[in-house]
């Protein structure tokens, strides 16, 4: 009997959060296929199930995929079974590398949708052709999204994501923002305090001392929150340099940055905004003592994030 690994993947968090959605359907179809094949012969036994939740197939930076590849290198699996080949990868280069790895460890690939015999030259050719189409589809979708986002930006529309502090998305008019008065007061205080203090660190210290804070953002259905309950120099800098507060939409085209009138009301007047940009620019040009670079963050690059598996870097902040 073949030692089988099931590989299951969805691209978005919304799909992953649906308990009766694609993830469950994929696993059910794969298990049913194995059961049917075993009715007539001792075909195979499922030795591992690898479920990728909300991960794109554009690269191999997927924890479950890496676990499965490690199992293949250790000869734990002889067949990788998936519902369609694009679940495994949407990159021709990555697929070719994985296919070579599978072949070198006597592991086959079987897709329920595209049932080609990869042990033959014709089957391998068809598999590579399908992978080219999968990659083409991904790239074409990305191009459409990028072009549409740029066109919306030129019209001064907000392209989604978490709305900036001071605003909330207008449900009735997609792409427009509405002012949240309580948060707008915080934004005005940020600009006023910076003008009074003249630099980021004392401004941040004063804002935190007086109890001002960025809003917390709920993430998903697990009640986790992004953003700290206090200001940092990085966060205040992003607020002070964000043209959204003067009702301008920023976008980049042909390597050049453009500002166009946005379809939402301003919180800060342009005179104040550009005055602060000049102060920030002047502050950056000031001489910085050599002692600033003599205390590196020794653990940068060594501590790894438990969720995204990327190295963390050190950063200063003012309280």
Q: What is the mean pLDDT of residues 69-86?
A: 92
Q: Is residue 197 part of a domain?
A: yes
> What's the CA gap between 196 and 204, in Å, rounded?
12
Is 61:52 a contact under the CB 8 Å cutoff? no
Provide the 3-class DSSP secondary structure of residue 271: helix
Is 82:7 a contact under the CB 8 Å cutoff? yes
Is 156:262 a contact under the CB 8 Å cutoff? yes
Q: What is the mean pLDDT of residues 16-43?
A: 90
Winning range, highest mean pLDDT, from 49-58, 117-126, 283-292: 49-58
Together in a domain, 136 and 174 = no
Residue 56 lies in domain: 2-142
The residue among 31, 108, 41 whose CA lies nearest residue 77 is: 108
Q: Is residue 230 part of a domain?
A: yes
Tell me the pTM.
0.52
> What's the CA gap between 151 and 128, in Å, rounded?
35
The residue among 81, 84, 78 whose CA lies nearest residue 30 is: 81
- Helix 92-104 vs helix 63-73: angle between axes, to the nearest 10 degrees? 30
Together in a domain, 118 and 184 = no
**Per-residue confidence (pLDDT) for residue 319, from 0 to 100:** 47
Q: Is residue 158 part of a domain?
A: no
Which tens digit of pLDDT belongs to each residue from 107-165?
988 888 877 666 567 776 777 777 677 677 777 877 887 887 788 888 888 887 778 88
Together in a domain, 112 and 194 = no
In percent, how much of the chain has pLDDT > 70? 85
Per-position DSSP letters for 86-135, written without gaps between them: HHH-S-HHHHHHHHHHHHHTT-EEEESSS---TTSHHHHHHHHHHHHHHH
Q: Please name the residue that has the structure tokens 């052709």.
A: 129
Last residue of a domain, one of 102, 126, 142: 142
Is 275:246 a contact under the CB 8 Å cutoff? no
Residue 39 has pLDDT above 80, yes or no: yes
- Mean pLDDT in the chain? 83
* Token output for 130: 């399908």
pLDDT band (50, 70, 90) for residue 46: very high
**Per-residue confidence (pLDDT) for residue 316, from 0 to 100:** 60
pLDDT band (50, 70, 90) for residue 5: very high
230 or 107: which carries more pLDDT confidence?
A: 107
Q: Which of 41-50, 134-143, 224-233, 252-261 has the lowest mean pLDDT?
A: 224-233
> What's the CA gap between 167 and 267, in Å, rounded?
9
Provide the 3-class DSSP secondary structure of residue 80: strand
Q: Which of 35-49, 174-188, 276-290, 293-307 has the lowest mean pLDDT?
A: 293-307
Together in a domain, 128 and 183 = no
Together in a domain, 126 and 173 = no
* Token output for 147: 């072009």
Residue 205 is part of a domain; what is its CATH number?
3.90.1750.20
Give the contacts of 190 (CB within 8 A, at least 6 positions apart).
203, 207, 212, 231, 236, 239, 240
Give the DSSP letter of residue 241: T
257 or 121: which carries more pLDDT confidence?
A: 257
Is 81:110 a contact under the CB 8 Å cutoff? yes
* Token output for 70: 């490690």
Together in a domain, 50 and 172 = no
Q: What is the mean pLDDT of residues 289-305?
A: 63
* Token output for 287: 């001489």
Q: Is residue 305 part of a domain?
A: no
Residue 237 has pLDDT above 90, yes or no: yes
Q: Is residue 304 part of a domain?
A: no
Together in a domain, 31 and 72 = yes
Residue 223 has pLDDT above 70, yes or no: no
* Token output for 25: 């359907």
Residue 69 is part of a domain; what is its CATH number?
3.40.50.1390
79-82: strand order across its sheet = 44-52, 2-9, 79-82, 108-111
Q: Phi/psi class of residue 175: alpha, beta or left (left: φ > 0; alpha: ψ in -120 to 50)?
A: left
Q: Is residue 154 part of a domain?
A: no
- Helix 121-154 vs helix 92-104: angle between axes, to the nearest 10 degrees? 150
Together in a domain, 268 and 234 = yes
Is 113:29 a contact under the CB 8 Å cutoff? no
Which tens digit of pLDDT belongs to each residue from 155-196?
888 887 778 888 988 888 888 899 999 989 999 999 999 999
- 50 phi and psi, to 5 degrees? -120, 110
Number of H helices, E strands in the chain: 10, 10
Residue 267 has pLDDT above 60, yes or no: yes
**Per-residue confidence (pLDDT) for residue 213, from 0 to 100:** 83
Residue 258 has pLDDT above 90, yes or no: no
Is 183:217 a contact under the CB 8 Å cutoff? no
> What's the CA gap between 119 and 127, in Å, rounded?
11
Domain count, the chain: 2
């Amino acid at each position: 009997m073949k030692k089988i690994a099931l590989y299951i993947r969805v691209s978005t968090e919304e799909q992953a959060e649906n308990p009766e959605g694609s993830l469950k359907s994929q696993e059910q179809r794969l298990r049913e296929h194995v059961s049917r094949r075993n009715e007539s012969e001792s075909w195979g036994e499922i030795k591992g199930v690898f479920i990728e939740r909300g991960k794109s197939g554009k690269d191999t930076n997927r924890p479950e995929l890496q676990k499965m590849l490690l199992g293949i290198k250790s000869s734990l699996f002889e067949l990788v079974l998936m519902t369609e080949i694009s679940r495994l990868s949407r990159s021709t280069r990555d697929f070719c590398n994985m296919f070579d790895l599978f072949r070198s460890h006597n592991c086959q690939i079987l897709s329920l949708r595209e049932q080609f015999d990869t042990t033959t030259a014709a089957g391998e050719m068809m598999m590579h052709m399908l992978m080219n189409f999968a990659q083409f589809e991904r790239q074409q979708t990305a191009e459409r999204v990028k072009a549409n986002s740029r066109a919306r930006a030129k019209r001064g529309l907000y392209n989604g994501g978490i709305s900036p502090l001071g605003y909330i998305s207008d449900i009735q008019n997609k792409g427009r923002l509405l002012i949240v008065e309580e948060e707008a007061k915080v934004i005005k205080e940020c600009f006023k305090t910076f003008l009074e203090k003249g630099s980021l660190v004392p401004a941040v210290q004063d804002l935190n001392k007086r109890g001002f804070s960025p809003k917390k953002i709920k993430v998903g259905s697990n009640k986790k929150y992004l953003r700290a309950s206090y200001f940092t120099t990085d966060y205040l800098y992003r607020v002070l340099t964000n043209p959204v507060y003067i009702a301008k939409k920023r976008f980049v085209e042909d390597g050049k940055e453009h500002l166009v009138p946005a379809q939402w009301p301003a919180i800060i007047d342009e005179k104040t905004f550009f005055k602060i940009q000049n102060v920030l620019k002047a502050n950056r040009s000031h001489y910085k003592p050599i002692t600033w670079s003599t205390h590196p963050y020794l653990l940068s690059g060594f501590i790894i994030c438990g969720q995204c598996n990327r190295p963390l870097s050190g950063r200063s902040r003012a309280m």
